[in-house]
């Protein structure tokens, strides 16, 4: 799509982005920035669709079919800032002739690092330990104090084997000597899995039954909503741990609470939540749960890289070239 002669395409950026990204966007487009960094909401998003040639939305923007029904519609591209796009009704976007792109690759290492961070935090009880120390409750070293679980030699089960999961597998196997197993309907090439020390399993259930730690790396789709329900959590080993850096609604949080309360699971490390930014209150009270505020891609390098990747898709689109990261 080309802008009218003599004008620059108008782009609405729905949240505040790193300064380097905002400067680069403003150098090429007629940009409307969100200086207050507050969510636009359904009405604001609908208005943006009427006024902008493209939107640069984030995971906090619920672009539902109702929002995308805005008239008169001007927007022709949703250049999503992030790899996940379950907050966008892609079928409705496609039906209205709106292209959708995302930003893969650039956040892989940051999110893989965070998954391993959660794995270590929950198994070594570091969140619990820091809370005790800061509260003045630490009385000194003793042999039985705050004893956690070693991960060397343990089995890590990956649900999904995409870019981020492969990054986790590399770190876990080569860095910590973990045995890595995985299930993915679209598995990597055998030689690629072998290089990561990862062994495929024929079903999700087989992974859950064997793993000491289960780490979730599947997309959020209608089919994966509550993938980890009460039945599947019950399949996990007694004393196992769950890590989620994928999307919150992949886990039934009420079922997770019960699995933790009963002692069936030893702990959980969560970066994403079913009803963000709301967190199930019971999880907030559990010492054996590590909770982070959706920090998976929160490195300076990744967040700038995401913005530049979105900029690249905008640039290509308005030049009439194929999108690098087309979703719709």
| Catalytic-residue membership of 223 | no
Residue 2 has pLDDT above 80, yes or no: no
- CATH says 10-106+300-318 is which class? alpha beta
| Catalytic-residue membership of 247 | yes
- What pLDDT does 66 receive? 98
Residue 178 has pLDDT above 60, yes or no: yes
| Cα-trace Rg, the chain | 22
Average model confidence (pLDDT) across the chain = 96
Domain limits of the chain? 10-106+300-318, 108-291
Which helix (H) or strand (E) is 199 found in, with range?
Answer: strand 198-200
Q: What is the mean pLDDT of residues 79-91?
A: 96
- CATH says 108-291 is which class? alpha beta
Q: In terms of Cα–Cα distance, which of 191, 184, 180, 137 is closest to 156?
A: 180
Residue 1 has pLDDT above 70, yes or no: no
Is the distance from CB of 1 to CB of 318 less than 8 angstroms? yes
| pLDDT tens digit sequence for 98-131 | 999 999 999 999 999 999 999 999 999 999 999 9
- What pLDDT does 6 receive? 54
Residue 301 has pLDDT above 80, yes or no: yes
Out of 10, 15, 217, 294, the active site residue is 294
Out of 247, 274, 303, 309, the active site residue is 247
| pLDDT tens digit sequence for 253-272 | 999 999 999 999 999 999 99
Is the distance from CB of 145 to CB of 167 less than 8 angstroms? no
| Catalytic-residue membership of 217 | no
Out of 8, 276, 324, 326, the active site residue is 276
63: helix, coil or strand? strand
Residue 185 has pLDDT above 70, yes or no: yes
- What pLDDT does 20 receive? 98
Residue 175 has pLDDT above 90, yes or no: yes
């Amino acid at each position: 799509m080309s802008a009218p002669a003599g004008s620059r395409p108008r782009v609405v950026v729905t949240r505040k982005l790193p300064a380097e990204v905002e400067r680069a966007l403003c150098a090429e487009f007629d940009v409307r920035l969100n200086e207050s960094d507050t969510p636009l909401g359904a009405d604001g998003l609908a208005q943006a669709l009427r006024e902008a040639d493209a939107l640069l939305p984030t995971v906090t923007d619920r672009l539902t079919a109702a929002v995308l029904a805005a008239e008169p519609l001007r927007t022709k591209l949703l250049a999503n800032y992030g790899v996940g796009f379950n907050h966008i009704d892609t079928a409705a976007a496609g039906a209205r002739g709106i292209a959708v792109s995302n930003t893969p690759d650039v956040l892989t290492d940051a999110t893989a690092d965070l998954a391993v961070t959660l794995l270590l935090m929950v198994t070594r009880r570091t969140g619990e330990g820091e809370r005790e120390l800061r509260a003045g409750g630490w009385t000194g070293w003793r042999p039985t104090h705050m004893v956690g679980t070693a991960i060397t030699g343990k089995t890590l089960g990956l649900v999904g084997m995409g870019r981020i999961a492969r990054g986790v597998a590399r770190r876990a196997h080569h860095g910590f000597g973990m045995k890595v197993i995985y299930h993915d309907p679209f598995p990597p090439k055998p030689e690629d899995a072998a290089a990561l020390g990862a062994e495929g399993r024929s079903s999700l259930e087989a992974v859950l039954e064997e793993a000491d730690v289960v780490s979730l790396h599947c997309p959020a789709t209608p089919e994966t909503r509550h993938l980890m329900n009460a039945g599947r959590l019950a399949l996990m080993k007694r004393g196992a741990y769950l890590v989620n850096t994928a999307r919150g609604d992949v886990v039934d949080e009420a079922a997770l609470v019960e699995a933790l309360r009963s002692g069936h699971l030893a702990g959980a490390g969560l970066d994403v939540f079913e009803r963000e930014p709301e967190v199930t209150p019971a999880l907030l009270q559990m010492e054996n749960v590590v909770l982070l505020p959706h920090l998976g891609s929160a490195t300076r390098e990744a967040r700038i890289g995401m913005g530049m990747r979105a900029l690249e898709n905008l640039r290509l689109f308005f030049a009439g070239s194929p999108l690098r990261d087309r979703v719709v």
